[in-house]
C-alpha cells in the first residue's frame, strides 16, 4: 500500500465517520422536535385552563386603575392621617 492509497483510506474513513455522526445528529433532531411538539400541545392545554384566571386578574387590574378605587384609597388615607394626629 503506497502513500496515495493510505490517504484515500483515511479520507474514506473520515467520510464514513462524518456520515455516521450526521445520521445520529438527525435522529436526535427528530426526537427533539417530537418533544417540542408535545411540550407545545401540553402548554396550549394548560393555557386554556388558566384563561379564566388571567381574565380575573385583568378585571382586578382594571378595577384598581378605576377612579372609584383611587377615590376610596384617598379617603382611607385621609382617615388614617387624621387618626394619627389624635
Tell me which of 58 and 36 has the higher pLDDT: 36
- How many angstroms separate the CA atoms of 44 and 50, rounded? 10
Of the chain, the percentage scoring pLDDT greater than 90 comes to 44
In this prediction, residue 55 carries a pLDDT of 82
In this prediction, residue 25 carries a pLDDT of 96
Q: Mapping DSSP to helix (H, G, I), strand (E, B) and coil, where does residue 31 land?
A: helix
- How many angstroms separate the CA atoms of 26 and 40, rounded? 21
Q: Mapping DSSP to helix (H, G, I), strand (E, B) and coil, where does residue 25 land?
A: helix
Beta carbons of 51 and 57 less than 8 angstroms apart? no
62-81: pLDDT as tens digits: 777 777 777 777 877 878 87
Amino acid at each position: 500500500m503506497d502513500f496515495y492509497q493510505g490517504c484515500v483510506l483515511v479520507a474514506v474513513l473520515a467520510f464514513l465517520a462524518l456520515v455516521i455522526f450526521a445520521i445520529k445528529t438527525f435522529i436526535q433532531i427528530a426526537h427533539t422536535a417530537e418533544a417540542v411538539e408535545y411540550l407545545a400541545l401540553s402548554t396550549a392545554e394548560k393555557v386554556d385552563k388558566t384563561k379564566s384566571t388571567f381574565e380575573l386578574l385583568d378585571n382586578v387590574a382594571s378595577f384598581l386603575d378605576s377612579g372609584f378605587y383611587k377615590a376610596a384609597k384617598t379617603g382611607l388615607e385621609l382617615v388614617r392621617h387624621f387618626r394619627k394626629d389624635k
